[in-house]
Structure 1
Amino acid sequence: MCGIAGFVSFEGRRDTDWLAALGRTMTDAMAHRGEGACAPYVSACGTVMLCATRLAIRDRTEAGDQPMTDPAGRVVLVHNGEVYGSRSPAPPLWPRRTTCDTEFVLQQVCREADPATALRPLSGMFALAWHDTWTGRVVLARDHFGVKPLFYAFTHGGLLFASEPGVLLRTGLVTPEVDPQEYVLRSWIRMDAADDRTWLRGVKALQPAEYLAVDPPRTHRHRYWRLEPDDVPVGPEEIRAAFDRAVAERAVSDVPRAAVLSGGVDSTATVAALTRAGVPIEGYVLRYQNGIGGSGDDVAHAAEAADRLGVPLTVCDLDRHAAADLVPILPTRLMRPLLHGAELAMHQLYRTIADDGNVVVYSGHGADELWGYQAGGYFPIVDPFAPTYIHGRHYLTHQLYSDERPVWARLVTWMARELGVDMTAVTDLVWERTMDEYRGIKTASPLKRGRHHLLRRFLVYVNDMVDATSATFTLEDRPVFQDVALAELAFRCPEHLKDSGEPGSSHKGLLKEALADLLPDSVRSRPKQGFPSPTDPRYVRQLADLADGLGAPFGLPPLPADLRAELGVGEWMFLASTSAWLGHLAELRTDPRSHGEQSRTPVALAHPGPRGRP
């Protein structure tokens, strides 16, 4: 895990001192993503700047520093993430000078004129940017699943990009503005709003398996990898072989390693496989206190798994006071409000893991999206078995979120009205964006379409959250199940084989069968659990007081008394974190170099509606 950033001019040569200073500003803003940074690369033609902070995982010598250039001096590359190899191996173009993966990637992009041909066979997680000094082209690329983020904005007569949106804002070249309609839409959907838009006006996110070719002043975005669905039976042995290869690839590291061990199928199998491979590993599990939520029996299952595997286990506690203290802080890292509560858990876990001296963290993110959620309750369509012509537009746009979270829906609807946002326009956009990825795969199976939606939207939301919280503590999270071979197996496999759907059947049954010898019986039989709603009324009052102290977001009027009385932990956390986030943006509007965490000054909306309040 590193951080990358840069600028491409669309208006010819720029002052090279200005470009170098911009690079230093951006590396300073993402210093938490790596141990150090070299001088930015500024092209001889004065039109391109690339910079990076490096977290050295393999080959920690200076030979692996970035930006990195091939021996001919043609291609300059910056790289965030970890590439384990290629599924289409080829002889090296030149004798390797390092054992780090950055040089391996550099050889791949130098070998192929077509970026898609270079990127498609890569195995790993990455965000890349490279400059071909012969053609003048700059290419930005993101890995197949979107594990590593990459944000960009068209500004100051060029293209500015970085691993985090906050880095773009620190330059002073991007105005921290919030589009009210986008704010309402993403708040309404909550945990499923990943696409090329972001919470900030004018800031875009490169999508998974895409690259952006920049031939100034033209830009072209391309998808370099698509899943090919099929209905060919897949056996447990084939799944297990792909899983073992994924673990072996990710086991390589020159720094201390840890794992999130919740006692579920995914994390337990990952730790068991690493242990069998002789990898020294420590497990970490979060324990919620004071009734603030979470899976209450994670610790018991994790302790049993750790004892069986012979790995040390650290229990990380999160109580209501620590959680409340994080609510104003985390939005300044995530660059959005808190929507779920998992952000708090991840932040607390990663902080403990880093404090113990670990650098690489293994996790099970992605297993559910590929092998679970078979009941259809997580799919965007009301009934995944219904004919496509009655797949429930009205339910998705008007009932789904209201039925699942009625108080949340009433709060967001009230905010929309006060901000002058048309909720009909918002729900129409919900439908449009959902169906983009639901229809984005060539299959008649609504289950596979729904799974593709999960992979392209919900999982990307999770990946962005994981990256932001882990990068805060200079950690690299390696999700074992987000592997191309495993994903292709999952989309080749008939959906009914993954889980019969019969009463009492096992969630992720086929995956559990493939990993059976790695799992204690209690883990195999454990039902799927999410994050229960917090129940402690003291926590509700604590968050309400915090929200009141920070002031209403966007300068909105006081909440109606009946609505205020209904709000629970999630809604108060959302309101307080929104105010903290907007205050942080207001500080950045005044001084981009400011590192304050919150302010009570309302941020200006980009184009408020008729009832909007600046």
Structure 2
Amino acid sequence: MCGVAGWVDFERDLTVRQDVLTAMTATMACRGPDSEGHWAGRHALLGHRRLAVIDLATGQQPMHGPAGAPRHAPQAVITFSGEIYNYRELRAELAGRGHRFRTGSDTEVVLTAYLEWGEDFTERLNGMFGFALWDTRSERLLLVRDRLGVKPLYYLPLPGGLLFGSEPKAIWAHPGAAPVVDLDGLRELFALAKTPGHAVYRGMYEVRPGHLLRLTRSGLRDRAYWTLPTAEHTDTPADTVGTVRELLDDTVRRQLVADVPRCTLLSGGLDSSAITALAARHLAAEDSGPLASFAVDFTEGPAAAPRATGPAPGEPAPAQDAPGHPPAYSPDRPYAHAVAAHTGTAHTDIVLPVADLADPLYRTAALTARDLPVGRGERDTSLYLLFKAVRRHSTVALSGESADELFGGYGWFHDRRALGWGTFPWIDEHGPGFARALDRLLAPDLRERLDLAGYRRRRYHEALAEVEHLPGIDSPRERRMREVGHLALTRFLPRLLERKDRMSMATGLEARVPFCDHRLVGYVHNVPWALKTHDGREKSLLRAAVRDLLPAAVTDRPKSPYPSTPHRSYTRAVGEQFARLAADRDQPVHALLAPDWLTEAAARATAPAADALDDYLARYGMETALLLNDWLRRVPVRLEL
């Protein structure tokens, strides 16, 4: 996993500015609590913070190569974050080509692959990664990001070169960088859909998923080495189910490779349960002892220690959420316990006190991890606290992200009204949803200048233009669902992956996402919608592929979102904090807020509405204001509007 940072400048001698690299690297100590490393060349500085997962003894970075080359005169140097799941096969192939290795790490395999195959080496990598590679022979920097964008990588062009880092805060540690946000940055912040490459902060960018960025003295060039493939699906239904199972099983097996304790995040939903069942089987076959699994729940009582639990019967599941409506609370515990008993995991419930979810200290910790006020309510905070508790037991956790985007799990996939909105189908700009709530809280003049609806439409049509179709093969319905699947994977999923990366790495936990394996994604993306929903339900294809692994109550459970606390005490605590914020006109967020909304929200801050949706959206608005204010005070960002 880890964190990377660096500076390239072709116009100055950087060996005398290693103090800057030290400052940049230090900002990511939480991403790499095990060690820190630096490499300095005349025009390039590379830094690294390490979370040791594979080859604990000799995997320190930055790493230079080839093996046997002196540190002061290598052919190439790499600072790497992530994991390569096929590194053993690549290592064997490279050894057969005459390469020697001095470590057992996947990082050295990546470096050696570049020395053997050049820039085409990216196509051979199966994994999650964001890394920088400096070729000392050609004075060329490569910034490379995995295909789905599981791992982050930011950069800021400067005269003569650029800065890069796993997180924006690493770049800000450079004296020539500062966090500035203009109107376009605010538009992206409030868009509720991720624009690939957009980093919100002016002048800063993200390396796009599946892209390689090359910096030389001639300038900066960006190219895609992978995009979502488009191909006719010719497999039979039975073969399709079998292929999905085979790919998922192989992916889980690969992602269990580690030299540290592993676990799964088990909600009792179809996605995490399938990962848990397959992982438990592989560990049992290795005779590695029972798999550890963890679930989250909430209590209004005092802080509770993690509780190991046994099986419990299933409970009726709630109806599927409709677009723009609050998530129905569905207790995960009975389902998680049923899966744990069925698969033989050593299961632990992480019970979070509601008081901690509302604690400004933890909200700030989550904000600091993300560098942006993009969290939704208590979900970032609860995820941060969950990961913090899990990290006491394990270093690597497998999670179920991407299954909903890949197999069609969300309600808006199945809502013809949402599919015809003319914008991203998860955004209802006219009904009582998050988009409307955001528009209402912004000051009228700012709202008019931002024109969020127009911005979303432009970004939506840009996204549609990327979609490849199969003329003469796709029906109008299949054509539309191919578009929606593409939108889900490229504009919706990245926000969830960003949250998972930041919250996990803030606690030194490596979160792996098997459903983001590019082979599985490429295959399922081309499966016709009619086959993905062959039994008339969401995620029919995945359910068919793993039904034999799980209790019927779990495979038949409708989609349930990441849990949101049902306790009123959380809403009351948020209301009290917001009331204090509303009364203090010196707080910076007041410059962004609509006075009429502020007055209305302050009046109802401690009096929740009777209507559940109205109550939920009011709370969301208050949480957003609190988060924005914390962001403006603590980053500190400069707004140029």
TM-score range, shorter chain: 0.7 to 0.9
Cα RMSD (Å) of the superposition?
A: 2.7
Relative to 1, partners in 2 of residues 1:289 and 1:439: Cα closer, same or farther, differing over 3 Å? farther
Equivalences for residues 18-167 of structure 1 within 5 A: 18=17, 20-43=18-41, 46-71=42-67, 72=69, 73-85=74-86, 90-92=93-95, 93-113=98-118, 115=119, 117-155=120-158, 157-167=160-170
Deviation string, structure 1 residues 335-356 (Cα, Å, up to 9, x no partner): 1114323312311210110123
Q: Residues 482-537 of structure 1, C-alpha deviation per residue, up to 9 Å, x if partnerless? A: 1111112102311210113x6xx332111111112211111111011125776655
Structure 1 gap ranges (5+)? 385-390, 587-602, 609-614
Q: After superposition, what is the alpha-carbon deviation per residue over 1:138-169, rounded to whole angstroms, capped at 9, x for unaligned?
A: 00000011000001112364310000111112
Aligned positions of 1:163-312 closer than 5 A: 163-187=166-190, 189-190=191-192, 192-229=193-230, 230-233=232-235, 235-278=240-283, 279=288, 280-290=290-300, 295-312=329-346
Please give the per-residue CA displacement for 1:390-440, whole angstroms capped at 9, x wherever unaligned. x543x659982342516x52443441524365243x322212222323331
1:544 equivalent to 2:575? Answer: yes
- Whether the aligned pair in 2 keeps the contact of 1:232 and 1:492 (CA below 8 Å) is no
Structure 1 residue aligned with 2:467: 441
Per-residue Cα deviation, 1:344-400 (whole angstroms, up to 9, x for no partner): 2311210110123x1001101111111123764489x9565xxxxxx543x659982
Moved more, 325-334 or 30-39: 30-39
Secondary structure of the residue that 2:25 maps to in structure 1? helix
Name the structure 1 match of 2:608. Answer: none
Aligned to 2:600: 562
Partners of 1:52 and 1:161 in 2: CA distance: 12
Q: Does 1:405 align with 2:463?
A: no
C-alpha separation in 2, matches of 1:260 and 1:370: 19
Q: Secondary structure at the match of 1:8?
A: strand
Q: Distance in 1 between matches of 2:466 and 2:159?
A: 34
Per the TM alignment, residue 332 of structure 1 is displaced from its structure 2 partner at its CA by 1.6
Question: Among residues 361, 365, 370, which one is paired with 2:401 in the alignment?
Answer: 365
Whole-angstrom CA distance in 1 between matches of 2:440 and 2:86: 48
* Unaligned stretches of 5+ residues in structure 2: 302-325, 471-478, 582-586, 605-613
* Contact preservation (8 Å) 1:194, 1:460: no
How far does residue 479 in structure 1 lie from its aligned partner after superposition? 0.6
- SS of the residue corresponding to residue 522 of structure 2 reads helix
- 2:537 is aligned, of 483, 506, 511, to 506
Q: State which drifts further: 70-79 or 533-542.
A: 533-542
What amino acid maps onto 1:131 in structure 2?
W
Whole-angstrom distance in 1 between the partners of 2:59 and 2:410: 47
Give the conservation status (yes or no) of the 8 Å contact 1:327–1:573.
no
CA contact (8 A) 2:293 2:347 kept: yes
**SS across alignment from 2:221:** strand
CA deviation string 1:208-260 (max 9, x = no partner): 10111001351011110122222323521111111111011111111011210
1:280-315 Cα distance to aligned partner (Å, 9 max, x none) = 421111113459977432111001111111212211
Give, as a single letter, the amino acid of the residue that structure 1 aligns with 2:124.
P
- Per-residue CA deviation, residues 51-99 of structure 1 (Å, 9 max, x unaligned), is 1111121111135432333235211111100001168883335122222
What's 1:479 paired with?
A: 513
Judging changes above 3 Å, is the alpha-carbon distance between structure 1 residues 414 and 514 closer, same or farther for their aligned structure 2 residues? closer
Q: Is the 8 A contact 1:329 1:580 kept in 2?
A: no
TM-score scaled by length of structure 2: 0.83
SS of match in other structure, 1:605: strand
State whether residues 16 and 42 of structure 1, in contact with CA within 8 Å, keep that contact through their aligned partners in structure 2. Answer: yes
- Classify the secondary structure of the residue corresponding to 1:135: coil
Q: Work out whether 1:347 is the aligned partner of 2:347.
A: no
Distance 1:96 1:511 in 2: 40
Describe the shift of the 1:533–1:85 C-alpha distance in structure 2 as closer, same or farther (beyond 3 A). closer
Q: Displacement of 1:101 after TM fit?
A: 0.5
Give the aligned partner of residue 368 of structure 2. Answer: 332
Paired residue for 1:428? 454
CA pair 103-465 structure 1, distance change in 2 beyond 3 A: same
Helix, strand or coil at the partner of 1:33: coil
CA distance in 2, matches of 1:512, 1:468: 30
1:529 maps to a residue whose letter is: S
TM-score, with structure 1 as normaliser = 0.86
Of the structure 1 ranges 553-562 and 303-312, higher mean CA displacement relative to structure 2 is found in 553-562
Among the aligned pairs, what percent are the same residue? 26
SS at match of 1:5: strand
Pairing partner for 2:559 from 502, 518, 528: 528
Shift in Å, 1:182: 2.5
2:9–2:161 Cα contact (<8 Å) kept: yes
| Secondary structure of 1:32's aligned partner | coil
In 2, Cα distance between the equivalents of 1:411 and 1:236?
41
- On the 8 A contact 1:64/1:103 being kept in 2, the answer is no
